[in-house]
Structure 1
Amino acid sequence: MAIGLRVGPIFYKIGTGSLLHSFFSNIAYHLEDHKWGSKYPFLMKELYQGELSLANLSKVKEELNEIRAAFKGYAPDRVIWDIDDLKQAPPWGTHIAETITSLSNYFVTSDGKQFFDVFDQALQAGIEIRKPIKLQSL
């Protein structure tokens, strides 16, 4: 089942729920000292729970910019699949494209777009049309 970001009538496809969970797991594991939402509460707590309020869109934009910059310091082999089960590995194992150079460009949507770019587009749309962002399964 696919999951994505809904902003009013616009849907931004991400991919599987497990891939999205891995993205959030890496943030908590590498950047929040294993404490989910301790450094990036609006992204990790509010959006991950299903809906990001209009009032916090700009804050999440800032959080994601900081996360993207920090992820540049983590090689692709540092990826974790699930913070609750560190023995799990991505379904593709270590077979990744040569263009993936860090965790900042590791996460790609099911249609080949960078996670950070899709999140940024959704946040910008939410700001422009004044709508919250919802996590939604298709």
Structure 2
Amino acid sequence: QKKLSSEQLYVTIDENPTCTTRELSKFFNVSRHMAICKEMKRFDKVSKTGKWIPHGKWELLEINEQQCVTCCVSLCSHKLQAPILGGILTDSDEKWILYNNIKCKRQWLCRGSCQFLNREVDCTRKNSFVCMVRFKGNCLL
């Protein structure tokens, strides 16, 4: 076990803010990653992601549900006119919609800071399909 150098840790985090505490503990040969967490807290650094996802995203208000219905009806009616909408597949009572799932790595930033560096490098893009099966009458909710 090696004693953790605060200065080296600070320099490493400045060079690569996307390192996890476990990666840093392996790099500095520290047996417990919690030692890294304590040092980060001492530096007033917090781990943040570049994408904010609200809690309860599936709990929509009635007005939000109506907006979803309006958008889906609009997209389905323009499907033949716009080739980009070919990613929407309709099958019986299910709608399959292609969406881009962007997952961003966490970064160590100073508390209160919202600046994210190298977003295009740190974000990976993965195409996925989502199935929406919530119906009310003939409308998708």
Same structural fold, with TM-score higher than 0.5 when normalized by the shorter chain? no
Q: Greater share of strand residues, 1 or 2?
A: 2
Q: Greater share of helix residues, 1 or 2?
A: 1
Structure 1 length normalisation: TM-score?
Answer: 0.24
Larger CA Rg, structure 1 vs 2? 2
Structure 2 length normalisation: TM-score?
Answer: 0.24
